[in-house]
Structure 1
């Protein structure tokens, strides 16, 4: 398989919107119509259905990991495998199935990190948990973990193509949180466990 075909396949895999899929399976409202409007696990949790949120988290994480794992199994090197993971991440963020307006990519990014090097995933997951526990802001936790990811990559792997792919992924993830950053600064950001509220005009 050529690397081009691999990246296309990884992008399509990443494009599967598990927040929408799990919501339909559990008979829930479209997550784009309430809370933050983000089709991701944290927003699905606002529906009150923990099973649907867990399924979303698992699905979004696995597609990032699977892209990296598949690339490795097909004989591609570590840098190419990380780029395949980046393609899956971009598929989630810019999914073709939702008019290129997908989720923020936190769970998928974690899956990519796990595929690249489990130590990086654990490092970033611990940071996410610490910030989320102390602040109750999922966005603040995600931003902290995004900043830490390429630094952890340098620490555990040294300078290489895989770390560059993680840096690009982190930059996109931070950019996707620009509205959250504005709400955090204004003190209007929703906290983890907050009640579901319909978005204006929904």
Structure 2
């Protein structure tokens, strides 16, 4: 019963859309009707600017961190902790408070991965920052992070294999949420950051 309550709490926490709240507060508009229509940090950057985008990135990341910390604090294994984080990601993507229309869950997934396995997340993060700086494609960096981090968890054996598998499934979910971005990348018309 405790784990069920933890999952429900993680989903409800994940459902809080900071990009929506901040944009509504500053522009009195729904971010899902502006820019790319995505309720996330990248669209916040395009619509409002750097400061609010950093705030959204950190707060959305925290949504992924808290359930993993909570599950670990309650002495659940790492697989259960990552699954708890996955519920926050699901909440972010399909938020109950906003008609189940949310973002792509990248920052929340980063939060889950960082707490679950810091070194693979750090290595992937550094590589992805360099990749985004070189290509200006945030979506490409996000996709690479979702592939590389779980792979490094397995290669470096930083967490049990079943936990890394759970992380891989989260990565697959994020890649699926980026399917339109992947299509645009392949066609060469994906929007670059700063343009």
Give the TM-score category using the shorter length. over 0.9
Question: In the alignment, what sits opposite 2:189?
Answer: 188
Q: Tell me the TM-score normalised to structure 2 length.
A: 0.93
Give the distance between the partners of 2:149 and 2:94, measured in 1 at CA: 21
Deviation by residue 1:112-164 (Cα, 9 ceiling, x = unmatched):
01110211221221122021111101101111111112101112325522212
Question: What RMSD over aligned residues (CA atoms) do the two structures have, in Å?
Answer: 1.5
Question: In the alignment, what sits opposite 2:50?
Answer: 50
User: Which of 65-74 and 170-179 deviates more?
Assistant: 65-74
Give the distance between the partners of 2:93 and 2:26, measured in 1 at CA: 23
Question: In the alignment, what sits opposite 2:173?
Answer: 172
Question: In the alignment, what sits opposite 1:136?
Answer: 136
The 4+ residue runs of structure 1 with deviation greater than 4 A are none
Q: Tell me the TM-score normalised to structure 1 length.
A: 0.90
Give the distance between the partners of 2:159 and 2:2, measured in 1 at CA: 27
Give the distance between the partners of 1:59 and 1:48, measured in 2 at CA: 16
**Size of the alignment, in residue pairs?**
194
Question: In the alignment, what sits opposite 1:77?
Answer: 77
- Unaligned stretches of 5+ in structure 2? none
Q: Cα distance, 1:67 vs. partner?
A: 1.0
Which structure's relative contact order is higher, taking Cα pairs within 8 Å and 6+ residues apart? 1
Deviation by residue 1:46-85 (Cα, 9 ceiling, x = unmatched):
0242221111111100010111011111221222111111
Q: Is the 2:36–2:43 contact (alpha carbons within 8 Å) kept by the matching residues of 1? A: yes
- Unaligned stretches of 5+ in structure 1? 195-202
Q: Is the 1:8–1:87 contact (alpha carbons within 8 Å) kept by the matching residues of 2? A: yes
